Chain A
């Protein structure tokens, strides 16, 4: 076991706080990259009964190495089941068997809507992004969703250019009228803190990471960010969380910068 410095990066802080949102026994639809690290960290700490599902059609994955793509062969070897993608999106997700979805995106707006499609106009995009992938249905149908993204003003506009995946649309009431089965985003985890939806579905700052300030959060958000009257601070990463993350999960530092 190497010596762990108790300093940590913004990315590590984001991953560790995302992992703490998972509950033991959750069925989680895992994305590659930082969500994958958060889920595997949770399974090795407080949530040993976490069931990890990947959109490629893998259930109960126990990746022996860091998967660099969403369909890495390490997800399959030692998994509890493999099925087609149509099955994973129907038997598992549409049917309501997925507790948690982890999502990211180029833009997240005031009501937690996600844009992963285009910056600018759809027919004449300024920047063409990869698009939905599994995100549209995960955001619609997972019981709970968490979004992970660095806290930057350009990533947090008042309104997304294109709503690839639904948060609360223009307010919680509006999502409810669509009849989509999932509860929508429960939190956006950034490198500054956590934003959580209020009664109306608007994202407000509820938590700061140690050392971060309300002014930083305001300056890096594209709308007039409300601050919770009950603002609190996350616990700093523990030596054990940092050790697992750095030594077991991403020893080459591919996602941890």
Chain B
């Protein structure tokens, strides 16, 4: 199969019931289109890992896709609680594995770089260490002092949304680059969604901007606006109004299911979703350009 395929095909081929999944992106470039496609295809018993589960996992949990969450901050950023996730945890229906952001990132870093475990300095706070047995301590063989260690995280699948990629999956990302590279190298399989598929020459014109190389990528899907209600730097703004609206929608399970029916099951793909959002929303999220100065790589 060529790497270029539809998102539907990529999810069919690489995401299976029971898999562990990391949908990358810290506030920026969250791959909502892929989350919605996974919901449409009815995946079950997924282990969902993300530093901030954000609305994408609240929606996937509401749709019944997940049996376990691995996370470091389960709020609705800038708003409050993720109501669905919170209710599931409070009711004892969702298995959890909890870290600090740095703990979560360190696990990905170890997974991405092939380490058996990764050390970090003590923080003086130990309640989370006690709550999660994955946190362990070992003696630093050089100083004789204790350091905190965590094992690698190697998800079955990582999904990363990018500004532009070539057909082989070499991807340019700019703006907040949270943990995309680490997630891509840590995972066994990687699905890219991209705002634009560009000629290889565009990628090669600025190799320093290639955060993810084709060698770790399995599928490349052209999905403009895949990050909404998150954002893509330089392409469209974060839909802060929707993050507030989700807080209202999730006040009842009925309204949550109605949302999923209309906006996930009720559309075929991201293009339909984006059209359905309407002109007013698309205009509100439009962003004026602000170009970087060009760099000269030199002709050698």
- Is B19 an interface residue, CB under 8 A from the partner? no
Residue in contact with B179 in the complex, picked from A77, A85, A164, A180, CB distance below 8 Å? A85
Q: In the complex, which residues of chain A have a beta carbon less than 8 angstroms from the beta carbon of B145?
A: 179
- The segment from A1-9, A43-51, A125-133 found at the interface with B is A125-133
Contact of A180 with B123 at beta-carbon distance under 8 Å, contacts A57-B178, A89-B101, A131-B71 already known: yes
> Does the CB pair B176–A131 fall under 8 Å?
no
Q: How many B residues, CB 8 Å from partner?
A: 55
CA distance A112 to B75 in the complex (A): 23
Shortest CB distance A13–B (Å):
23
B73 pairs with A130, CB closer than 8 A: yes
- Known contacts A69-B77, A83-B177, A130-B74; A139/B90 CB under 8 A: no
By DSSP majority rule, is chain A's interface helix, strand, loop, or mixed?
A: loop
**In the complex, A89→B109 CA distance in Å?**
12
Q: Are B181 and A84 in contact (CB under 8 A)?
A: yes
The B40-86 residues at the A interface (CB cut-off 8 A) are 51-52, 71-75, 77-78, 81-82, 86
**A73 interfacial by beta-carbon distance below 8 Å:** yes
User: Given the complex of chains A and B, what is the CA–CA distance between A164 and B102 in angstroms?
Assistant: 13
- Contacting B100 at CB < 8 Å: which of A86, A126, A134? A134
- Please tell me if B125 contacts chain A, counting CB pairs below 8 Å: yes
B123 and A137 form a contact (CB under 8 A) = yes
A55 contacts B by Cβ under 8 Å: yes
Nearest CB in chain B: distance from A94 CB, A: 6
B interface SS class = loop
Within 8 A of A (CB), among B18-35: 26-28
In the bound complex, residues from chain B placing their C-beta under 8 Å from that of A124 are 92
Instruction: Indicate if the CB atoms of B121 and A85 lie closer than 8 Å.
Output: no
B contact residues around A139 at 8 Å (CB): 123-125
Cβ A125 vs Cβ B178 within 8 A: no
| Chain B residues within an 8 Å CB radius of A184 | 124
Q: Which residue of A lies closest to B181 (CB)?
A: A84
Asked if B290 contacts A77 (CB within 8 A), the reply is: yes
A21 at interface (Cβ–Cβ under 8 A)? no
B98 within 8 A of A: yes
Complex: chain B residue closest to A67, CB-CB: B78
Residue from A76, A77, A132 whose CB has the most chain B CB atoms within 10 Å: A132
Query: Number of residues in A with C-beta < 8 Å to the partner?
Result: 54
Q: How far is the CA of A211 from the CA of B90 in the complex (A)?
A: 41
Contact A132 B100 (CB under 8 A): yes
**Is B98's CB under 8 angstroms from A140's CB?**
no
- A69–B89 contact, CB under 8 A? no
CB of B252 to closest CB in A, whole Å: 19
Cα-based distance from A124 to B96 in the complex (angstroms): 12
Does B75 lie within 8 Å of A130, measured CB to CB? yes
5 tightest A-B CB contacts, nearest first: A71-B27, A140-B123, A130-B75, A166-B124, A180-B124
| 18 pairs, A vs B, C-beta closer than 8 Å | A56-B27, A57-B177, A57-B178, A69-B243, A71-B27, A71-B77, A73-B233, A73-B287, A76-B176, A76-B233, A84-B178, A117-B128, A140-B121, A140-B125, A166-B124, A166-B125, A178-B124, A179-B121
> What residues make up the interface of B, taking CB atoms closer than 8 Å to A?
26-28, 51-52, 71-75, 77-78, 81-82, 86, 89-90, 92, 98-103, 105-106, 108-109, 120-128, 131, 145, 174-179, 181-182, 231, 233, 237-238, 240, 243, 287, 290
Residues of chain A touching chain B, judged by Cβ–Cβ distance below 8 Å, are 32-33, 55-58, 68-73, 75-77, 82-86, 89, 93-94, 113, 117, 122, 124-128, 130-137, 139-141, 162-166, 169, 175, 178-181, 184
Give 5 A-B pairs besides A71-B77, A86-B108, A180-B123 with Cβ atoms closer than 8 angstroms.
A86-B105, A131-B100, A133-B72, A136-B102, A169-B124
